[in-house]
Amino acid sequence: MKAMGRLLPTPTLSLVLLITWLLLVRSIAPGQLILGAVLAVVIPLLTRGFWEPLPQVRHPIKLARFVLVVLYDIVKANVQVSLLILSPKREPHPGFVEYPLSVKDPLTITLLANTITMTPGTVSTNVRLDRSSLLIHVLDMHDEQALVREIQERYERPLKEIFEC
């Protein structure tokens, strides 16, 4: 069991790699399975130095719900931004917002920043290295407080609950 742990330090990553490989070659022939398994073992071992210890997913169901919410928001974001681009009369009011971070884990911050970039009218531009705040550029800003509150309610709280950090 201990040898197993040494060979597969991150089982989830290995599984994802194996599935990715099988999808890439589009076959489940024995040869590809073996090659995929070898890659799934070797790649995590080679890249081990880069990984910070990752937090555990505590609530898979909440994670699934979060993904669905984000997907819905991505569609909404696309429609909103497209409308804004296509209607030249409406002048957008861009602005910067400094968003106070309450999560501290690198992976969670990364997920939050990526989510913010993918969703309506916001692009995350800078994380302070002490992880205290995230600078966000907003395409069309009306109410700064409402925006911060929405991000907190919609994205940060679920992420915090999922990883419990």
Partner 1 sequence: MNLYLLAEAVVAFLLVAGGIFAFTGSLGMLQFKDFFMRLHGPTKGTTLGIGCTLIASMLYFTVTQGEFHVQELLITLFLFITAPVTGHMLAKTGLHMHLRFTTGTRGSVPEFRDEDVGQSRVARPAKARHPWRSRRQKRRGRLPR
Please enumerate in sequence order all residues whose Cβ is within 8 A of that of 130, keeping only pairs 6 or more positions apart, or say none. none
Closer to partner 1 by Cβ: residue 102 or 125: 125
Closer to partner 1 by Cβ: residue 4 or 46: 46
Q: Which of 134, 110, 109, 106 is nearest to 122 (CA)?
A: 134
* In the complex, minimum distance from the CB of residue 130 to partner 1, in angstroms, rounded to a whole number: 6
Distances (CA, A) of 26 to 23, 136, 158: 5, 40, 35
Binding residues for partner 1, per CB under 8 A?
A: 20, 23-24, 26, 45-46, 48-49, 74-75, 77-78, 81-82, 85-86, 88, 92-98, 113-115, 117-118, 121, 123-126, 128-130, 135, 137, 139, 141, 144
> Tokens 């309506």 — which residue?
120
* In the complex, minimum distance from the CB of residue 110 to partner 1, in angstroms, rounded to a whole number: 9
